[in-house]
Structure 1
């Protein structure tokens, strides 16, 4: 494979260390540093020692959440070109190279070769208010998950006649309820303090089935929805687009949800999809038509989730609240709703 002249740096990020491979004109050099601010600075110093100007390098790393974001932000602020790649893309690229072994240095080299071959777009960090909203909404979900787990335990203790344990768990559940209420208020206040977030939240809230928790999740993980060129692109990002499986005349698999996208957002849209099937007249009609055509209930919910994404994109990009009479318009019929 012919490598571009621009030096590329593949970084495999873990909690404690950074495994680095520098690729220049087909020649690879490796380095391991700590995943700390000191390590980030050492990376720049190491590049200089390798006679590579940091300003001319293209650094690529996988999107691994809390472990990769600080490095990506530091590199961006330092004026270094950085790309944050979907791990699925790296995995597919590795399969194309028929790689059988796996360790951190091999992964770093794979990321570097992907960067050299594909030249992925430069990463632009989300605004600070979006990153803060994402952290708040993720924390809210974690607390709700813990509360549900505790309620399940309380039910088991009650069935076993363990009154003391029931009381102990109940006290924790009440404490969680208080913290969840406080966090929900903090999220609402955070959105209200930022006009851009509040404007989009108000538009999304007009859609029956979309509540405050889902709004915070969507805005925290996506930010400005207008950056997507179409509703289909947004649906693909979340992973609710239909996936077909057919080949020749013999393979005719059932169309399913792709699930290649943001898993957190997809999970956050499941309950709104269930609610919208019953209480959003537009999507209720859509769901009833799919059910009458023989589509499985779970698949119907997935299709409603996709339509919810289209509605979210529509109200935000148009700047107009949801229109409950949309079903009677020619556009609705044209869109096949």
Structure 2
């Protein structure tokens, strides 16, 4: 148990801070901006809070990452935890209040009692890649929205709006090609990214799009102690639901993890399920055990995660013969 801890409840515009020292608490609010981050650091230092004091915040995407990177760069001991852990802790404490101040205090109490893992900020190369990947996805989403509108418009009379929408789709196509080229150039220009991307793409089902997404969202997979830890972080581990003699449901994907990384594995999972000898062999084995197609697909995604971890951790490109020999040793779903 930690005597001192700092909890940060993050929102778009502000940071609610709670410093817990034993059973005493001190709260403060700062702007979620570079100036606010500076003020937060100064405020903690003025209260003689040691830099090795656990500072915990929930993983809330770009809103939490900016302050986490700032504090980590200054040497603070940062832990970025899955919001589900905080939610589970709140339920165990029978927490009734739901305010930003109360949430910060809850996170601080959680930080005092929980087993925490230190968080390391992504490298500058990974941060830039993530910005490019997010921009690419935003453009792809916009293009799909316009195509949907065009399809709906085609059911009515032709108008000048249709011409404008087609021009917009053409512009989006050009921008998508440009951003994809920028992503490829960025990866090629970074030895750390290039090596890992090549290793990932040696796995059947993993192309340049999926490898760039995984690198952007996960960073260096070597920071995970094993493949199971990486699969749990992404949220593709199975969740069993059994209790007594009345509840015995099929296992399902936990989905408690990094949503964007999990989505990036959807198409590779489909491809691998039909074209990767290792994944096909696993799927056949699971089918004979009576698993549903949905469960088999989830297992295919999880197998890809294990393969990604294996090639990057070993530094050796995918080898189907080695993977097939190890398949029987892997745990089933």
TM-score range relative to shorter protein: over 0.9
Aligned residues: 332
One of 95, 104, 109 as aligned partner of 2:91: 95
Shift of 1:40: 2.4
SS in 2 for 1:334: coil
Deviates more, 1:133-142 or 1:78-87: 78-87
CA RMSD of aligned residues (A): 2.0
TM-score (norm 1): 0.91
2:318 equivalent to 1:322:
yes
Shift in CA distance, 161/223, structure 1 to aligned 2, threshold 3 Å: same
Corresponding residue for residue 196 of structure 2: 200
**Which range moves more in the overlay, 184-193 or 286-295?**
286-295
When residues 310 and 29 of structure 1 are mapped into structure 2, their CA distance, relative to the original with a 3 A threshold, is same
Distance 1:44 1:322 in 2: 45
**Alignment partner, residue 25 of structure 1:** 22
Question: Residues 58, 331 of structure 1: CA spacing in aligned structure 2 closer, same or farther, 3 A cutoff?
Answer: closer
* Other-structure match for 2:125: 129
Q: 1:46 aligns with which of 35, 43, 47?
A: 43
- Match in the other structure for 1:211: 207
Cα distance 1:55–1:235, how it changes in 2: closer, same or farther (>3 A)? closer
SS of residue matched to 2:250? strand
Give yes or no for contact 2:278–2:327 (8 Å, CA) kept in 1.
no
Give ranges in structure 1 of 5+ residues lacking alignment.
none
**Aligned partners of 2:7 and 2:18 also within 8 Å:** yes
1:14 partnered with 2:31? no
* TM-fit CA distance, 1:163: 4.1
Where do 1:281-320 residues align within 5 Å? 281-320=277-316
Paired residue for 2:328? 333
Distance 1:85 1:255 in 2: 25
Task: Determine which of 72, 77, 81 is the counterpart of 1:81.
Answer: 77
**Aligned mates of 2:206, 2:125 — CA distance in 1:** 21
Query: What is the CA-CA distance between 1:78 and the residue it aligns to?
Result: 2.4
**Which of 234, 238, 244 does residue 234 from structure 2 map onto?**
238
On the 8 A contact 2:8/2:57 being kept in 1, the answer is yes
| Correspondent of 1:278 among 250, 274, 277 | 274
